[in-house]
Chains A and B, each alone.
Chain A
């Protein structure tokens, strides 16, 4: 079974600081990887996804993530955060084969202060 680990529970950054949120997964087979964001009071939105090909994936709102297979990692990055990036970020994975649900990490709360 898959599992996802997000190391940072709460990250506080000043505006314009760079962001990197860690995500590691555990699974022996081929996976699809996702980052979702949940803004306060809103529903989950897909930030970006990796299925195959270029391991550096660009998503919406200036976010990107890099899949490093040897490290089982899929860290989320943004060079310069804004106050509006304050949200909860979830890393998720599912097995590429079969009809499998997403397995989520526990989430990382990002607070961006002015």
Chain B
């Protein structure tokens, strides 16, 4: 199946700093990628929809100035958590829609962010 890779898988950062998470589709092009957040023992919550070459669409309640999403190419989307705080500590997961192969969505491995 299609492969989506996220990096880093785990990151610890100090409060007030920014951290970037990358999401790459390794063997296919993805015009659309999605970013989710998963709190412990809870379901995935959609944060934003990232479309290649245009601005991301954020879900209600998600601060777009805090969670910067860039989708500069058909194989890479990045999520930057700016001025991170401990409450931003979470599991962030990206997914990519396989363009032209129907509607299947594949997920990255996820990134554990811990803000100390």
Question: CB within 8 Å of B: which residues of A?
Answer: 32, 34, 36, 42-46, 49, 51, 90, 94, 96, 99, 101-107
Q: How many residues on chain B are close to A (CB under 8 Å)? A: 21
- CB contacts under 8 Å to A, within B38-90, are 42-44, 46, 49, 51
Contacts A101-B49, A105-B43 known; A94 to B108 CB distance under 8 Å?
Answer: no
Question: CB within 8 Å of A: which residues of B?
Answer: 1, 32, 34, 42-44, 46, 49, 51, 93, 95, 97, 102-110
Contact B93 A44 (CB under 8 A): yes
Chain A CB within 10 Å — which of B34, B42, B44 has the most?
Answer: B44
Contact A90 B44 (CB under 8 A): yes
Taking chain B's interface residues, is the majority helix, strand, or loop, or is none over half, making it mixed? Answer: strand
Other-chain residue from A36, A49, A96, A103 in contact with B107 (beta carbon distance below 8 A) = A36
Contact B104 A90 (CB under 8 A): no
Other-chain residue from A34, A94, A107 in contact with B43 (beta carbon distance below 8 A) = A107
Contacts A43-B93, A43-B108, A43-B109 known; A90 to B43 CB distance under 8 Å?
Answer: yes
Contact B32 A104 (CB under 8 A): no
Contact A43 B103 (CB under 8 A): no
Contact A101 B34 (CB under 8 A): yes
CA gap between A49 and B103 in the complex, in Å: 10
Q: Please name the 8 residue pairs, one residue from A and one from B, whose CB atoms are nearest each other, closest first.
A: A43-B109, A44-B107, A106-B43, A101-B34, A104-B44, A104-B43, A32-B103, A107-B43
